[in-house]
Amino acid sequence: MSVPPDKLWLDNEAGPLLRPYSLTNGRTKPTAKLTLQSMVRSTGRLAPERIEPVHAKMLELCQFATSVAEVAAHLRQPAVVTKVLLSDLIDWGAVTTRVPDDVPDREQLEALLLGLQQL
């Protein structure tokens, strides 16, 4: 079956057209220490004049304190890619970060998992 060339890029099952690490220029290590629970928030300071669209989207998502995990989910990108890109924004002073005070410990998470398994 022949598919018109303009329809080849519309297959949702094919995945993103841009590979994740092309967004980071191949970088795999964030410059800032971030966890999935780290909260990030825009500082209101402007990033460099010309930022990538993904950085602009991140700034939009971070208008209010948002976890790294949430940003990754909204962007549909792997966590490490999101951390590298958020590190750019942190380095530019456009985003600030903090670890939440109420992060559950391992015992709490295991108790929660056990309770869920018993449902």
Which has more pLDDT, 88 or 11? 88
Q: What is the pLDDT of residue 43?
A: 92
d(CA 53, CA 42): 16
d(CA 15, CA 17): 7
Q: What is the mean pLDDT of the chain?
A: 82
Beta strands in 1-119 (DSSP E): 39-42, 66-67, 95-98
Please compute, for residue 84, the number of CA atoms within 13 A of its CA located in the half-sphere on the CB side: 15
Residue 70: pLDDT band (50, 70, 90) is: very high
Q: What is the pLDDT of residue 57?
A: 92
For the stretch 20-54, pLDDT in tens is 667 777 788 888 999 998 999 999 887 677 788 88
Helix, strand, or coil here: 87?
helix
Beta bridge partners of 42: 95
Q: What is the pLDDT of residue 7?
A: 52
Q: What is the pLDDT of residue 6?
A: 54
Which has more pLDDT, 19 or 39? 39
**What's the distance, Cα to Cα, between the start and end of the chain in Å?**
48
Chain center to CA of 6: 30
